[in-house]
Amino acid sequence: MNPPSLFDPLKIGPYELKHRVVMAPLTRMRASRPSLAPRPLNAEYYAQRATPGGLIIAEASPVVATGFGNPGVPGIYTETQIAGWREVVDAVHAKGGFIFLQIWHVGRVSHSSFQPSGALPVAPSAVAIAPEFRAMTADGKVVEYETPRALETGEVPLMVEAYRQAAKNALAAGFDGVEIHGANGYLVEQFLQSCSNVRADQYGGSIENRVRFLMEVTQAAIDVWGANRVGVRLSPYGIANGSGEADPMPLYSHAIKSLDRLGLAYLHFIEPRASGTGRADVDWKNVPSAMVLYRSMWSGVLISAGNFVGESAQSAIAEGHADAIAFGRYFISNPDLPRRLQRGYPLTPYNRATFYGGEEKGYTDYPGHDEMAEA
């Protein structure tokens, strides 16, 4: 029997994918303002990258108004935002694609200028991100991170309910599922890691307690969607946004084994070599591989992301380390990426200067391979 290929079918939850090239969730900061709802330009962008039987994981969307740390990011907590996302979903479905929404709260990776009434950002504990990392204010200034306000014990269930409502809103918008953003130093990972969680209640201290918020948020989404339409993204050994557990293996082994019992649609890793690529191009050397280390602990579909190209993606699939590969930056500059990879066409380089904010430039103006050939 031949080893599996990047272009073999794959079942994720109830969905039959025709290939295993997944579009990763990518913050692009192009929502309408002040509503922070997706707009027709966003629908065009996602439709360009949709393929029959292909999976898109839409960009991280805050579950509540306190969850922002960047301007122009779309939310999923108002009727206007739901309506905007419905146009995106309809455009992807019209191309025969599937689309999940990544639901998100940045926690301490924010600034008071983004917060309602100018309050401090909220987090598991009043622990600031180290000064070598820099925050962006709502008007684009670069400053040190503020010390966040620790959530009271009674507020944590309210935050779980915000994720539950976001999952309901995503269902109302017509998505095919949701992904919990538990990676890159944002709120869920802040609860997981001892560097950002020094709580003394049932959400802090032991590994079991620190994993509790992740499990409650995931269960809230399952209550809405069913387990087979919910995914979780984690970044073991990542260092983005001041994250990093001193010894990740015990923490993430417990988290992954706990999640495995739920029967989720998939688990989605960010490989450590790519930690922090949102801010700069990095390729960390001599770091572990999350998909290799934790594959044996996960019985379901495993998606991996982080600096993959066609050859390395195919190897990861063939060797059984992952079942699908998520591409980010090259999906920005190659709207027809699955076809290019399958046919060995060259990839268009991306332009980092146009990643965040703006209009069509660097967003919907990248041509497909056939358009380039005809030009």
Domains and CATH numbers, the chain: 10-374 (3.20.20.70)
pLDDT exceeds cutoff 80 at 200 = yes
> Is the per-residue pLDDT at 31 higher than 90?
yes
Check whether 277 has a pLDDT greater than 90: no
Mean pLDDT over 284-293 rounds to 84
Nearest to 292 by CA among 256, 316, 263, 318: 316
- pLDDT for position 325: 98
Q: Is the Cβ–Cβ distance between 264 and 179 less than 8 Å?
A: no
**Between 308 and 281, whose confidence is greater?**
308
Kindly list the catalytic residues: 186
Q: Number of H helices and number of E strands within the chain?
A: 11, 14
pTM recorded for the entire structure: 0.96
**pLDDT on residue 310:** 85
Question: Is the pLDDT confidence value at 120 over 60?
Answer: yes
In the predicted structure, residue 374 carries a pLDDT above the cut 70: no
Instruction: Say how far apart CA 122 and CA 103 lie, in whole Å.
Output: 17
